[in-house]
Structures are given as structure tokens and as C-alpha cells.
Amino acid sequence: MKNSTQYQTVRVPLGERSYPIYIGKNLLSSLGRFFHRHRLPKTVLIITDRNVARLYLKIAQRSLVQAGFAVRAIVVPPGEKEKNLRRADAVYSELLRFRIERRSTIVALGGGVVGDLAGFIAATYQRGVNFVQVPTTLLAQVDSSVGGKVGVNHAQGKNMVGAFYQPAFVVADIGTLRTLPDREIVCGVGEVVKYGIITNRKFFSFVDRNLPNILLKEGRVLAHLVSGCCRMKALVVSQDEREDNLRAILNFGHTVGHALEHAGSYRSLKHGEAILLGMIAETFVAYRLGMISSKDAARIEGAILRIPMPRSIGFSFAPSRLIAAMRLDKKVASGKIRLVLPTSVGKVTLPIVVDEKIILEALVYLRAVLLSKALVV
Ligand code: NAD
Ligand code: GLY
């Protein structure tokens, strides 16, 4: 691609569903050229949320229009509570009103909520239309825009309705992270730390060491995080696209994390924050079972606790109620809760059945840690 636009490319190798992730600065204003390169149909429908629309919709639209595409946009309210079937239904109605046909492309412009919702709509509208991810949060750039998991929440649990639906390509414009609120950067750091713990000790140390630069949104450091996480995720997803086995390791911290999000009604805790807390509890379980050394468990917990969390998590949780929420986790098999557990910094197990009594102990421990930091109200 000519002119000053510079980017790196990470490939997700999935046979005929393979695709590139373009990572760089100012890529949004070149979006139309990526569409040309991938020979996508002329009709494009951007799904975004109100916050992102205000900042980036015009830039994306202008680039696509200049490249000869006909562009429409649907703007949804922001927030996890919008990731549901009711909102999806309202968007289907808009698509029909706009007479969007099958030969068109849906673009998710925004964070993980928009990505999961728009991807679910792309996978299901008229049995599937082209899909492109343009993630604008750190969390979405390092994790949710890659790998094809799309879906919505159900009143009884997180991500309970969805599909595997890979995008044609992903454009991660690091420049968009400049406007991201600090709390959202922390959420992204949650998933970034996860990658270090599950696959790469060196990467974990890099993140821990560079935390101040990450929080200051230093461009080069953020680009390193995004490309590093995308490479690790591509490697895992290419071996197990539909989570029959290895891909489950990406769920480290998520069994407890999703239960915490649910307990806070998807309002008190953000996804990335819940994952950070989930990783503390699940590391405790590994330590309690003698699967990880006290040194490595302390390293994980110490790194997580250095990340600035909100002063209050907004609700006081009952460990036994969290266990009930965990029984709905997608890794549950024959009614038994299974967890991905760290065995060192850089290595985790596949999901293993864990006695609920030990999970309860871990939740009591987590609550004590939070209380000691004055985090639980
Ligand atoms: P989000 O989409 O709610 O975005 C966070 C907030 O930042 C929103 O208010 C949004 O409007 C705002 N925002 C987005 N980009 C911005 C920017 N550049 N500048 C200013 N504000 C901006 O949250 P998230 O953390 O990106 O995503 C969380 C979701 O991702 C959860 O629903 C989670 O389940 C999902 N997820 C999915 C996968 C997957 O593989 N599909 C993986 C991890 C997480
Ligand atoms: N974030 C979990 C996955 O993509 O599998």
C-alpha cells in the first residue's frame, strides 16, 4: 500500500478462512484501500457505538466513500448491557429497512461489545454476510477481534448465544487508542497479562516492566502488545478454531471473571477488570492444588495487583452465588466446573475438573484480597 501508511501484518492461518490482521497508526483513513485490496462488495454497513461514532465514524466513512463504496451506519448505545438479542433484533430491522442485501459487508467499528454484536449479526443476517473487524479498544485489538468468536449475552449467562465466524480481515489502528479512557486501557491490560501467563514468560515480564508506559499509551509499546498478542492468539486459534481442546487456554481467568461480571449485572465490573480478578482466584486454585510454585503464584498476583483498578468494584459478592453462575460456564462438562490453571508463568493446563470447595476457598481468598485493598463495597 503506497503513501506513508505503515503497518505490520499478522496472519491467522485457517485454510480457506485465513485472514490478515493489519496493525499500525492512522489505518482508519486508509480503510477503503484495504476493502479494495480484499475485493469486497460495494455495499458496506458500519455498526458502531455512540462514543466511537463521535470520534471515528466520519473518518471511516470518508475513506470508504472515497474508495467508491456505498456506506450506511447503525449506531448503538455503548456498553455490555447492549450485547443481547433484543439489540441484535433492532439492528436486523435497520438492515432490512436499508435493504441491505447478502452481497454486502458488515464492519464492526469499536470495542469488543460492538465486535461481538456486529459479528453475530454478520454471521446470521441472511445466513451470513462478509465481516470486517476494526477494533478501537486495546482489549479488542489484542483479543476479541481475532479468532472469530461472535455472540451475545443471555439473561442467564455471558456469551451464551453465538457462533464462530471469521472476519475477512482486521484493521487495528493503534492511533485510536489515544482517546481510550484510562479504565479501558486497564481492561485491555487484563487480556494482555493473560497472554503472558498462558504462553510466554518473557512477554509477561515485558508487560509487568512496561506497565507505566502502557498506561501512558506509548505508541511503540502498545503496537508491541497488539502484535504480540495477535501472534499468540493466531497460533492457538489456527490449531483449534472451534475450541475443542487447546483454544480453551484462552479462557484462563474467564470462568471466575464471567461469573463476577454476571454478579455485577454487567455494569459494576468491566470485562477486562473481571478477568484480572478471575486470574487471581484461578491462580489461587492452582497454588492450593500444588500445581504452581508459591513464587510464580505471587509473581502473577503481584503483577495483577500493580495494575490500577477502580477504587470500588461496585458490589459485594457472595462466593456461593458466584459458584452457581460458574455452573453455566461453557467449559462445564457433566455438570462439573472445569478451570484452566497456571503451572508456571507462561504455562497453563487444559481445563480440569476442580472440586467446588476449592473454588469456594479461592473466592473467599479473592474477596479478602479485594477487602484488603478496600475494593469491595
Ligand atoms: P467495549 O466494547 O464496551 O468498549 C469499552 C468502552 O470504550 C465503550 O464505552 C466504547 O464506547 C469506548 N470506546 C471504544 N473505543 C474507543 C476509543 N478508541 N476511544 C474512546 N472510547 C472508545 O468493551 P471492550 O473492553 O472493548 O470489550 C469487552 C467485550 O469483549 C466483552 O463483551 C467481552 O465478552 C468481549 N470479548 C470477546 C472476545 C472474543 O473472542 N470474541 C474476547 C474477549 C472479550
Ligand atoms: N477470548 C477467548 C477466545 O477467543 O477463545
Q: Nearest C-alpha to atom 22 of ligand 1 is from which residue?
A: 180
Other beta carbons within 10 angstroms of residue 199's beta carbon come to 22
Average pLDDT over residues 348-365: 96
Of ligand 2's atoms, which has the minimum distance to the CA of residue 147? 4
C-alpha torsion 124→128→132→136, nearest 10: 0
CATH among 3.30.420.40, 3.30.2230.10, 3.40.50.1970, 2.80.10.50 for 7-178:
3.40.50.1970
Mean pLDDT, rounded, for 280-291? 98
What is the reported pLDDT for 3?
A: 47
- Over residues 99-133, the pLDDT tens digits come to 999 999 999 999 999 999 999 999 999 999 999 99
How far apart CA 249 and CA 143 sit, in angstroms, is 13
Strand pairing report for 130-135 and 169-173: parallel
Does ligand 2 come within 6 angstroms of the Cβ of 158?
Answer: no
Residue 56 C-alpha to ligand 2 middle, in angstroms? 26
Tell me what pLDDT residue 158 has. Answer: 87
Residue 248 CA: which ligand 2 atom is closest?
5
- Tell whether domain 182-372 is in CATH 1.20.1090.10: yes
CA of 330 to the centre of ligand 2 (A): 12
β-bridge partners, 9: 22
Sequence-ordered strand ranges (E) for the chain: 7-12, 19-24, 43-49, 70-76, 105-110, 130-135, 149-154, 157-164, 169-173, 338-339, 342-344, 347-348, 352-353
Counting ligands in written order, the one closest to the CA of 236 is 2
Query: Which residues in the chain are classed under CATH 1.20.1090.10?
Result: 182-372
Confirm or reject: Cβ of 241 under 6 Å from ligand 2: no
The per-residue pLDDT for 126 is 97
State the pLDDT at residue 313. Answer: 74
Statement: residue 369 has pLDDT above 80: yes
- Using pLDDT thresholds of 50, 70 and 90, give the confidence band for residue 374: low
pLDDT tens digits for range 301-350: 999 999 998 767 777 788 888 998 899 888 899 999 999 999 999 999 99
